[in-house]
Amino acid sequence: MKKPNSWQQWLLIGLGLALVALILLVPLVLIFTRALAGGWDLLVQNLAEDYMQHALMLTILVAIATVPINLVFGICLAWCVTRYDFRGRRLLSTLIDIPYAVSPVVAGLCYLVIYGVEGFIGQWFYERDIQLMFAWPGIIMVTVFVTAPYVARILIPTMQSQGAEEETAALTLGANGWQIFRHVTLPNIKWALLYGVVVTNARAVGEFGAVSVVSGTIMNQTLTLPLLVEQLNNDYKTAAAFTAAALLACMALLTLFLKTFMEWRQRQALAKAAAA
């Protein structure tokens, strides 16, 4: 990396900065300006509305339920794919990419078809008075689908580059599986893992397409914050819509900050491992 030393290079940088300002910074500024346009009191009042509180709680619930599930699964898949060599290994790591490629609306519909009242699993639950679709369990289920790949996708390259030597050494020293994972693997993948959690959380909080299919958009019941943004905008309650948007934008900014921090920590850890 070097200091730019000719006007062409400065031109490129200027063009890039202008684009970043137009595409990324101005929208952020707009969100907070619009949220604060009616004054601080209106903002607080909008935040205190029942529907806003409810949407916030539901969104947090979805994130809390989704992240641990995909955390456990991501670790298992990454361990399985990077620590053993077996038939179908490539297939497993291709299958996990499917949620990236499938449109969220299609994903929502898939779940609706099987877990809806008319679907063969949904019916079984319905007869036992459990409604999955158009209720919060459905929202969690589709969110799990949409966010499934992230932890695994972040862990796999990290664990691949670290190799299994340390784990094998621990094994020959008599450690059992859990001890190996707890004392050897986990410290090595700590930052990548946290990074995966942050990314999964951001996607879980922000998911729109899949959730809107299975939510049924019932005010005070199945509206998550991203859906609330759309609903309020459709009702011409622009100030309230931007209030919800500002909450989500704060979450996004926090995500960016944590992500940058963890990438930095992970690079440090890798550098230390390389030096040792």
Partner 1 sequence: MSLPIPRFFHQAPTLPGFGLSFGISTLYLSLVILLPISALLLYVSDLTWMEYWRAISDPRVVASYGVTLRAALYSSLAALLIGLLLAWIITRYDFPGRRLVDALVDLPFALPTSVAGLTLAFLLIPEGWIGQWLGFKVSYAFPGIVVAMTFTSLPFVVRTVQPVLLELGSELEEAAHTLGASRLQTFWHVILPMLVPALITGGAQSFVRSLGEFGAVVMIAGNMPFQTEVSSLMIFVRLSEFDYPAAAAIASVVLLASLLLLFTLQVVQSRVLRWQRKK
Pick out residues in 10-39 that bind partner 1 (CB under 8 A): 12-13, 15-17, 19-20, 22-28, 30-31, 34
With CB under 8 A as the contact rule, the residue among 39, 44, 57, 97 that binds partner 1 is 97
Distance CA 143, CA 66 (A): 7
Piece in contact with partner 1 (CB under 8 A), picked from 42-50, 126-134, 167-175, 187-195: 167-175
With CB under 8 A as the contact rule, the residue among 44, 57, 105, 271 that binds partner 1 is 105
Distance CA 12, CA 39 (A): 39
Is-contact 51 194, C-beta < 8 A? no
Piece in contact with partner 1 (CB under 8 A), picked from 46-54, 70-78, 128-136, 188-196: 70-78
Closest CA to 32 of 238, 249, 232: 249
Residue for token pair 């963890």: 262
With CB under 8 A as the contact rule, the residue among 205, 223, 240, 262 that binds partner 1 is 205
Is-contact 115 122, C-beta < 8 A? yes
Enumerate residues 243-262 that contact partner 1 by CB under 8 A.
245, 248-249, 251-253, 255-257, 259-260
CB of 181 to partner 1, least distance (A): 7
Which residue number, 144 or 192, has a Cβ lying nearer to partner 1? 144
Distance CA 252, CA 244 (A): 13
Amino acid making up residue 262: M
- Torsion angle, alpha carbons of 171, 173, 176, 179, to 10: -100
How many angstroms separate the first and last alpha carbons of the chain? 26
CB of 208 to partner 1, least distance (A): 3
Q: Tell me: does residue 236 bind partner 1 (CB under 8 A).
A: no
Which residue number, 118 or 273, has a Cβ lying nearer to partner 1? 118
CB of 48 to partner 1, least distance (A): 20
Enumerate residues 115-134 that contact partner 1 by CB under 8 A.
115, 118-119
Number of residues binding to partner 1, judged by CB under 8 A: 98
Q: Name residues whose C-beta falls within 8 Å of residue 170's C-beta, 6 or more positions apart in sequence.
A: 179, 180, 183, 184
With CB under 8 A as the contact rule, the residue among 55, 58, 66, 104 that binds partner 1 is 104
Enumerate residues 38-67 that contact partner 1 by CB under 8 A.
none
Q: What one-character-per-residue DSSP string does 158-185 give?
A: HHHHH-SHHHHHHHHTT--HHHHIIIII
Is-contact 151 193, C-beta < 8 A? yes
Q: Tell me: does residue 195 bind partner 1 (CB under 8 A).
A: no
With CB under 8 A as the contact rule, the residue among 39, 53, 94, 273 that binds partner 1 is 94
Piece in contact with partner 1 (CB under 8 A), picked from 47-55, 130-138, 165-173, 266-274: 165-173
Is-contact 27 35, C-beta < 8 A? no
